[in-house]
Structure 1
């Protein structure tokens, strides 16, 4: 099958850009999935280990790829509710 794939690309050279674009898009999608899996706090694999991982997020560290003028300060009402529920 592998030799037939390259044989088709040799005979139909107009397919080479299409194969290149599709394969680079697939590689980019795979790379972004791996990036999200290892660096984002809202992606959870093990739900039984820590059911609330968002409680461990550092608010001073930006969570987006691009953050413009982000300043974090705690909301008093939410902090009171959080203290009451624990």
Structure 2
């Protein structure tokens, strides 16, 4: 019974810790009245993922050519 209690406590602690972490991220909206347009405060250069390993933003050449051609 003790191992089951330890596993349940560990799972509950992990779930609550992840919930608090997810609520602090910028892509989660909690206060709609205080900040009605939160998408204006999001920095586009910061990746909005849970885990990012060695990611660097580079423009895709084909998309840049299409954008230049459609202007």
TM class by shorter-chain length?
Answer: 0.5 to 0.7
Kindly indicate whether the alpha-carbon contact (under 8 Å) linking 1:60 and 1:72 is maintained by their aligned counterparts in 2. no
Look at both structures and tell me which one has the larger radius of gyration over its CA atoms.
1
Match among 38, 44, 50 for residue 65 of structure 1:
50
Q: Name the structure where helix makes up a greater proportion of residues.
A: 1
Task: Could you tell me which runs of 5 or more consecutive residues in structure 2 were left unpaired when the two chains were aligned.
Answer: 60-66
**1:21-40, aligned counterparts within 5 Å?**
21-38=7-24, 40=25
- Aligned twin of 2:62: none
Q: TM-score, normalised by structure 2?
A: 0.67
**Cα RMSD for the two superposed structures:** 2.4
Query: Unaligned regions of 5+ residues in structure 1, if any?
Result: 1-14, 78-86
TM-score (norm 1): 0.57
- After TM superposition, where is structure 1 displaced by more than 4 Å over at least 4 residues in a row? none
Matched, 1:45 2:33: no
Alignment CA distance shift 1:57-1:72 (3 Å): farther
Relative contact order: is structure 1 or structure 2 higher (C-alpha 8 Å, sep ≥ 6)? 2
